[in-house]
Amino acid sequence: MVANITGLIETQNAQGRLKKIGRRKIVTLPIERVHPVVRIAHRMTSTHDIHRRWIRDHEIIVCCGHASGWLVRDDDKIEIKPFDLVVVEPYVAHEIHVDAKRGFDHIAVHFDWAADVPSDDDDLEQRSAYGVQLTHGLGWPEHWPLSRGHGLVQKLEEVVHAFGHDWPAAGLETSSLMMSVMVDLIRLGNGACRAKIQRKSNENCGGKGGVKSGGVGGEQRVRIERALAMLDRRFCEDVPVSEMAEAAGLSVTHFGRLFRVWTGQSPARYMRERRVREARRLLGDIDFSIKQIAVKTGFKTPYHFSKVFRQVDGLSPSQYREAVLAGRVGPNDR
């Protein structure tokens, strides 16, 4: 995971006033490691405003009643209309205004994208200011209009119901349902980003357009994908990072940063795992020896091949081949 630093964050002191507490660390989370942890899930009607605050995890809010609310964040004032969805990020100062007479009927779910993000420490009070971005340019909508009966609304209602269950598998059920919610959120965010790219916008999708993405805008995304296409063709070669950057039309430094944001890996690690992926496929073919596969996948010696393969997969190439031939795993199972 890669960490960046963004703007200063405010927190409340003992007198209820906001003060500066430091800069927010942005954690890049590989998409395959998304495994949400639900901390709070409820449906309630609020009749009082929530004054300026920040939270230590992410929160999804969906308006379920007939009365609207308002989310105020920096210079943005977002009206939360019936069945609108908003996502509030950790350590971003905001306030919520409601109609005291009509109330604000809403679902609220507090969650982390993964158990160890931002760290393995489960104590929220000890967290430092942080944010999350996903790899591969994926993101989620900061504000999105839904409708009564929308599948995402129904899933969030199921999350609330499961979270309130008093049985041993309640946590597992809640996490499973929330995973489906995450997929829907990312699908919405990705669709909005694609629409922006089609309009030839070079702006980052995380701007005021309403989508929080992995920090790679349309033009940059095309450049990184151009380099990835070259690496897929030449994965068995020792391609210098300078040549990758040249294919992307970027400086080496800028390319390295964007590559990590997009893939969650350094170019060297990406190439290593790409070679292992091809090796898995070839290991299912008994016509190739281990030595031949090592050469075909760009490893200098069978020893180096075996060492790297074991580091990535936890098995030697011979053990993996035996498992494939015995039908215990398929060449694409890892």
pLDDT tens digits, 111-146: 999 988 887 666 777 888 899 989 888 888 888 888
If you average pLDDT over residues 146-162, what whole number do you get?
87
Q: What are phi and psi of 24, to 5 degrees?
A: -90, 125
Lowest average pLDDT, out of 51-65, 251-265, 316-330, goes to 316-330
Q: Are 146 and 84 in contact (CB under 8 A)?
A: yes
Percent of the chain with pLDDT over 70: 81
Task: For residue 83, give the nearest of 161, 141, 142, 150 by alpha carbon.
Answer: 150
> Per-residue pLDDT for 3 more than 70?
no
Q: In the chain, what are the domain boundaries?
A: 3-198, 216-265, 278-325
Give pLDDT, residue 1: 36
Comparison of pLDDT for 204 and 106, the residue scoring more: 106
Q: CA-to-CA distance for 47 and 242, rounded, in angstroms?
A: 58
**What string of H, E and C letters represents the secondary structure of 18-70?**
EEEEEEEEEEEECHHHCCCEEEEEEEEEECCCEEEECCCCEEEEEECCCCCEE
CATH number of 3-198: 2.60.120.280
Q: Any idea which residue has 């391609």 for tokens?
A: 239
Structure-token pair, residue 297: 């996948």
Give pLDDT, residue 12: 47
Q: Are 174 and 162 in contact (CB under 8 A)?
A: yes
The pLDDT tens digits for 296-315 are 999 999 999 999 998 888 88
* CA angle, residues 287, 276, 270, in degrees to nearest 5: 150
Q: CA-to-CA distance for 286 and 325, rounded, in angstroms?
A: 9
Comparison of pLDDT for 40 and 68, the residue scoring more: 40
Prior bond of 30 cis (ω within 30°): no
Question: Helix, strand, or coil here: 313?
Answer: helix
Task: For residue 272, give the nearest of 309, 241, 306 by alpha carbon.
Answer: 309
Give pLDDT, residue 170: 87
Give pLDDT, residue 191: 63
Q: What is the pTM of this model?
A: 0.62
The pLDDT tens digits for 211-262 are 555 555 567 778 888 898 899 899 999 999 999 999 999 999 999 888 887 7
Looking at domain 278-325, which of 1.10.10.60, 3.40.47.10, 3.40.50.1400, 3.40.50.740 is its CATH number?
1.10.10.60
Structure-token pair, residue 90: 């950790």
Give pLDDT, residue 109: 96
The pLDDT tens digits for 201-224 are 444 444 434 555 555 556 777 888
